[in-house]
Each structure stands twice: as structure tokens, then as C-alpha cells.
Amino acid sequence: MPAAIADVLKRMIDGGGRVCVLTGAGMSAESGIPTFRGTHDSLWSRFDPMRLATAEAWREDPALVWGWYRWRMQLVRDAQPNAGHKALAELARRVPLSLVTQNVDDLHERAGSTVDAHVHGSLFALRCFACGQAHDGPLDDYVEGQQKVAPMRCTACGDAIRPGVVWFGEALPDDAWSAAVDAAERCMLVLVVGTSGLVYPAAGLPALARRHGATVVEINPEPTALSADADHVWRSTAAQALPQLLAI
């Protein structure tokens, strides 16, 4: 770990300051969850995710869009939290910590973390496309290789059940976004982990925290759009870097 980052962390922990962790796709990459654009699976490689993750695509062909999400859900179900997820859960037992994620998987929760804000929604928070009623029943069976899957139906109105993610063109969920802003404004330190910093408004959270006096540390193997505005950068992956925080 860079010495400057160890110093910042130690001062913050000794002072009882709150940490805000913002995680993105890089956080789950080491669990084998492909990034949104990095899908090379032959079944789906000819489809553009940006054209599937929209309300328009859903209206046009809900079975195709549900089939894609059902496949992605299965990838997540088959994946396991990595050492980085587990380290964050442990860190939250030691210091006041808010966890904000752009990821729609549930790997933080399965590692034992409480997620304060899923700013881009959650794959498994299913709800009715028409009336919004939450779907609490079991997930339909996954059939390997099946591309079109008829969505489950809402018990209240009979319309189709959609995934709980934020699609392109949709607003972020109000409660998640408020929680994320609150976490950014109240913390003394922001750890930005595995996010490219390209997707707004989530990418604006580190700058917001900085305006409120927080120190920003980026943990990412590659330079990103956020690197220039970080106080410290640590070129490492989530699973490599985060367990080292527990040694401080």
C-alpha cells in the first residue's frame, strides 16, 4: 500500500471519521462477473447491451430482454464474493462506513455488508413494469442457452415483472440517490473502487465529498476519469488492495 494512503487511513481511523466506499464494475470483475460491455458469451455477443437495457427494448420484446437479464442473474448467482467484498464487510465492523455501489449484483450483501445505496438498482429487486408492485415470489427457473424467456406476471395487475435495475434514460431511485449524497457529504474519506468514473451522476460523488472536505483515494488498476481529482491513487485491484486495509 502506498505510504501516503496508509497515513491517511490511520489518521482517519484514529479520529473516528466516517468512510464512504463507492464501488463499480471492477469490484465484481474478480468474482467473474463480466463488465457490462465486456460480454463475449456467444449467446449474447451479437446484442448491444445499451440496446437491451432500455424501457423501449422491453416494450418491443420483453422476452428477449428478460432472457438477457435472467442469464446475467444466473452469472451472479453462480459467482462468489471475492476477497475485496469480504474485506469491506470486515472494515465496516471496525470503522463507521457507508457503502455505495453502482453494481446491480448482490455480492456485497453476500459477503456480509449492508449496502447503503444501490444507485443503479439491483438485479434481484424485481417489480412490475406497469404498476411497480414488488415481486416477492421465487425466480423462474433458468434454462441454459434459452434466449427468449417469457417474463413472470404481476399478481396485482398481470403485467410483466422487470428487473430492478436502472435502465438507460431512467432516473436513479430517489432513496438510493439521497443516501449516496448523504454518505458523500458526511464522510472524511472516500474510497473509489473499480469504477471508471464515466457514468453520471454517480461519478460526481467523489467530487461532492471533496467539496465537503473529504480526502479521495482511488483504487483501480488503470487510470480513470476520476484519477486527476483524487488526492491519492492506488493502482491495484479490489481483491488485492482492500484486504490490506485491515492490516492498518
Single out the segment in contact with Zn ion by CB under 5 A; choices: 6-14, 134-142, 146-154, 215-223: 146-154
* Active site residue ranges: 120
The C-alpha atoms of residue 145 and residue 139 are separated, in whole angstroms, by 17
154 binds Zn ion (CB under 5 A): yes
150 binds Zn ion (CB under 5 A): no
Other beta carbons within 10 Å of 157: 13
Q: How far apart are the C-alpha atoms of 116 and 98, rounded to whole Å?
A: 6
Q: Which of the stretches 28-36, 46-54, 82-90, 158-166 binds Zn ion when contact is defined by CB under 5 A?
A: 158-166
Residue 151 C-beta: closest distance to Zn ion, Å: 11
Among candidate residues 4, 5, 79, the one with its CA nearest the CA of residue 241: 5
Pairing of strands 161-165, 189-193: unpaired
Task: Tell me the closest approach of the beta carbon of residue 198 to Zn ion, in angstroms.
Answer: 34
**Residue 124 Cβ, how far from Zn ion at the closest point, in Å?**
18
Q: Does 157 bind Zn ion (CB under 5 A)?
A: yes
C-alpha cell at 180: 449516496
Residues 171-190 interacting with Zn ion (rule: CB under 5 A): none
| Closer to Zn ion by Cβ: residue 24 or 163 | 163
The residue type of 232 is H
Extract the C-alpha cell encoding 95: 470503522
CA atoms within 13 A on the CB side of 86: 10
Q: Using the rule CB under 5 A, is 131 a contact of Zn ion? A: yes
According to the binding rule CB under 5 A, does residue 192 interact with Zn ion? no
Does residue 159 interact with Zn ion by CB under 5 A? yes
Window of 50-58, 143-151, 153-161, 194-202 that interacts with Zn ion by CB under 5 A: 153-161
Please spell the DSSP secondary structure of 216-235, one letter per residue: EEEE-SS--TTGGG-SEEE-
Residue 234's φ and ψ, nearest 5 degrees, are -130, 110
Provide the grid cell at 16: 473516528
Which member of 4, 134, 143, 156 binds Zn ion (CB under 5 A)?
A: 156
- Find out whether 169 and 54 touch, Cβ atoms under 8 Å: yes
Binding span for Zn ion by CB under 5 A among 34-42, 152-160, 164-172, 173-181? 152-160
The nearer residue to Zn ion, 143 or 156, going by C-beta atoms, is 156
**Which residues make up the interface to Zn ion (CB under 5 A)?**
128, 130-131, 133, 154, 156-157, 159
